[in-house]
Amino acid sequence: MRLLVLALAVCLITFLMSAPAMAQAAGAPDSGAEKIAKLESALASAQSAGDNAWMLVSAALVLMMTGPGLALFYGGLVRTKNVLATMMQSFFLMALITVLWAIAGYSLAFSEGTPFLGGAKYLFLRGVGVEPNADYAATIPHQTFMMFQLMFAIITPALITGAFAERIKFSALVLFMCLWVLIVYIPLAHMVWGKGGFLNAYLGGRVACFDFAGGTVVHVSSGVSALVCALYLGKRHGYAHEPMKPHSVVLSVIGACLLWVGWFGFNAGSALAASGLATSAFVNTHFAAAAGALGWSAGEWFRNGKPSVLGAVSGAVAGLVAITPGSGFVKPMPALLIGLLAGLVCFYMVVVIKGKMGYDDSLDAFGVHGAGGTLGALLTGVFATNAINNALKRPDGHAVALGLADGHPGQILNQFWGVLIAWVLAGVGTWIILKVVDLILGVRVSREEEIEGLDLTQHGEEAYNYEG
Amino acid sequence: MKKIEAIIQPFKLEDVKEALKHAGVDGMTITEVRGHGRQKGHKEVYRGQEYNVDLLPKIKVEIVVPDGRLEETVKTLADAARTGKLGDGKIFVTAVEEAIRIRNSDRGEGAL
């Protein structure tokens, strides 16, 4: 990609410069220094064009993961009477979080502040224009970076909706999500990715916890919050007595496939450039998804005698979750291993542990994102290597040893701190927010409303009007 | 007049319709139903949640025939619907007091 851009740039420059050069031949010719300066600026703008093109596509891909990806994945798993409400929970966040992000969210996450929360510099997106912000990404417009990050802030709360599907009051969901993004997501995003963030190894943080694309920020935080939500809200009426079969595994398969494709933007886009590192992340993402699907299927085949379609696609998602933090740090073979382990572990969490513990994490947001995210974050400490990512340099210019693979076992502990902070912040924060929302609005619909279904009681619509 | 109510396997519907047409039965009513007799259901597993599905999809065929055509119709229907395995279904016969054609108020066997 880079080579192609370079070649194109050189052609372009030759073409552009030939005409003026001839015109100037009679007058004062350009000095050598001027020519070089022009060449450099043309090269930079060519690289910027390539990077920006990839990052705009990546941002769009990540939005596609929420709608329609997650909306379909979750929508297919609920009963017919709740499918619209479930899709709305994803779709509405696309609108709600966007407005929050524009007004204050981006500033609180990504402007400089304390190690735990950003400042007010970018409130109302003041000063966030097309000029790059070199702290984060020197070759793309600051607004592109802002939009890319926005898409992460949208999908993360949407993932939680799997835990309280089929029983949350819509008004409570809206308030909960506003508070959750402000109190849990934004501080965590600042700590891991923001300039001066506590866990940001690249921009002056205290603890070097590697999280390439959101293993802790996105998956541990949403997964743990999902567990707290499932415990707080309690089981659906009739759970384990009445049949609660997914109303359409077909929708879920389509949704999972869209998630898989969107994840290329999520992980490879996190390179913030159309670079070799983006390709590494792209390869790892795909490999982990494939191995995850095989891992879950193998577990199910062995245990139940049949590999289910829902199991295969759930395994792919588990693999994608687990590779997220390490996608820009590990080699392809470890990516296969991480995906395979995630498929097996998440299968075990969802099928065995959840049954024993008895909580109703309706669509397994914790079993997949909490468990897979934690596993992936820790394994990043094992397999991260500067052969893939050499952006961290020692003062003498050599690349820093990253994970155990580079002979730095201490990294696993660093990863553990990151995971612990994410667990505690998500766990405690979510519980407090639920308490507050419960006091103000009540989080759960009435028993009658739950039996009638959220589509009718919360939105006044039905999903499938075949007679209409 | 007798009403024949047959619960059959859904995949046998075309055979039954064809056979009844050959036997001269002009009209019938079909309903998609669920039920079970001695046939066992099956197990479905979604992410570890097991569901025993014992009410299986069946087709209910309803026909009303003159008394004299009862035996022939029942035999035709049973022969066409039979596979010889559990789950083939059942036929119930009941007496019908009256039949009325809505279009012109014909009554009795003439209305069939």
Q: Between chains, do B45 and A352 touch, taking CB under 8 Å as contact? A: no
* C-alpha dihedral (A354, A373, A197, A264), degrees to nearest 10: -140
* C-alpha dihedral (A338, A344, A350, A355), degrees to nearest 10: -140
- Would you say residue A265 lies in a domain? yes
Q: Between chains, do A306 and B51 touch, taking CB under 8 Å as contact? A: no
Which three-class secondary structure state does DSSP give residue A54? helix
Which residues from A are below 8 Å from B45, CB to CB?
300, 304, 306, 308
Nearest CA in chain A to B48: A351
Rounded distance between C-alpha atoms, residue A6 and residue A18, angstroms: 18
Look at residue A22 in the predicted model and tell me its pLDDT: 47
Kindly report the length of chain B.
112
Residue pLDDT tens, chain A, 468 long? 565 555 666 555 555 555 444 444 445 567 889 999 999 999 989 999 999 999 999 999 999 999 999 999 999 999 999 999 999 999 999 999 999 999 999 999 999 999 999 999 999 999 999 999 999 999 999 999 999 999 999 999 999 999 999 999 999 999 999 999 999 999 999 999 999 999 987 887 888 999 999 999 999 999 999 999 999 999 999 998 888 999 999 999 999 999 999 999 999 999 999 999 999 999 999 999 999 999 999 999 999 999 999 999 999 999 999 999 999 999 999 999 999 999 999 999 999 999 888 899 999 999 999 999 999 999 999 999 999 999 888 888 888 899 999 999 999 999 999 999 999 999 999 999 999 999 999 999 999 999 999 999 999 999 998 875
Give mean pLDDT, residues B2-21: 95
Please, are residues A185 and A243 in contact by the beta-carbon 8 Å criterion?
no
- Would you say residue A465 lies in a domain? no
* Alpha helices (H) in B1-112, listed in sequence order: 13-22, 70-81
Which residues from B are below 8 Å from A352, CB to CB?
48
- Would you say residue A464 lies in a domain? no
* Alpha helices (H) in A200-275, listed in sequence order: 221-233, 249-268
Which residues from B are below 8 Å from A308, CB to CB?
45-46
Structure ipTM: 0.77
Look at residue A14 in the predicted model and tell me its pLDDT: 56
Q: Between chains, do A308 and B51 touch, taking CB under 8 Å as contact? A: no
Instruction: Write the DSSP string, A7-38.
Output: HHHHHHHHHHHHHHHHHHTSSPPPPHHHHHHH
Chain A to chain B Cβ contacts (< 8 Å)? 24
B102 touches A at CB < 8 Å: no
Nearest CA in chain A to B47: A351
Rounded to 5 degrees, φ, ψ at B51 are: -125, 125
Rounded distance between C-alpha atoms, residue B48 and residue A310, angstroms: 11
pLDDT at B63 over 60: yes
Number of domains in chain A: 1
Q: How far is A364 from chain B (nearest CA, A)?
A: 9
Nearest CA in chain B to A296: B47
Q: How far is B112 from chain A (nearest CA, A)?
A: 30
Q: Between chains, do B49 and A244 touch, taking CB under 8 Å as contact? A: yes
- Candidates A243, A306, A364; nearest CB to B47: A364
Number of domains in chain B: 1
Q: How far is B109 from chain A (nearest CA, A)?
A: 35
Please, are residues B93 and B2 in contact by the beta-carbon 8 Å criterion?
yes
- Would you say residue A64 lies in a domain? yes
For the four alpha carbons of A384, A388, A389 and A395, in that order, the dihedral sign comes to: positive
Which residues from A are below 8 Å from B49, CB to CB?
244
Within 10 A of A452 (CB to CB), how many other CB atoms are there? Answer: 13
Give mean pLDDT, residues B67-79: 95
Within 10 A of A408 (CB to CB), how many other CB atoms are there? Answer: 18
Q: Between chains, do B47 and A243 touch, taking CB under 8 Å as contact? A: no
- Residues facing B52 on adjacent strands: B43
Q: How far is B55 from chain A (nearest CA, A)?
A: 12
- Residues facing B100 on adjacent strands: B107
Rg (CA), chain A: 24
- Would you say residue A466 lies in a domain? no
CA separation, residue B48 to residues A197, A306, A342, B29 (Å): 40, 12, 17, 40
- Candidates A243, A306, A310; nearest CB to B47: A310
- Candidates B44, B47, B51; nearest CB to A350: B47
Q: What is the residue range of B37's domain?
A: 2-111
Nearest CA in chain B to A367: B47
Q: What is the residue range of A212's domain?
A: 2-14+25-459
Look at residue A262 in the predicted model and tell me its pLDDT: 98
Q: CA geometry: angle at A165 spanning A323 and A170, to 5°? A: 120
B89 pLDDT tier (thresholds 50, 70, 90): very high
Rounded distance between C-alpha atoms, residue A237 and residue A82, angstroms: 14
Q: What is the CATH number of the domain that holds A327?
A: 1.10.3430.10
- Candidates A245, A246, A351; nearest CB to B48: A351
Q: How far is B8 from chain A (nearest CA, A)?
A: 25
Look at residue A2 in the predicted model and tell me its pLDDT: 60
Q: What is the CATH number of the domain that holds B86?
A: 3.30.70.120
The token duo for A438 is 């419960």
A245 touches B at CB < 8 Å: yes
Q: How far is A351 from chain B (nearest CA, A)?
A: 4
Which B residues, 17 through 56, put their C-beta within 8 Å of a C-beta on chain A? 44-49, 51
Nearest CA in chain B to A297: B47
Give mean pLDDT, residues B11-30: 93
Please, are residues A257 and A404 in contact by the beta-carbon 8 Å criterion?
no
Q: Between chains, do B45 and A350 touch, taking CB under 8 Å as contact? A: no
Rg (CA), chain B: 17
Which residues from B are below 8 Å from A358, CB to CB?
none
Which residues from A are below 8 Å from B41, CB to CB?
none
**How many alpha carbons lie under 13 Å from residue A409 in its C-beta half-sphere?**
0
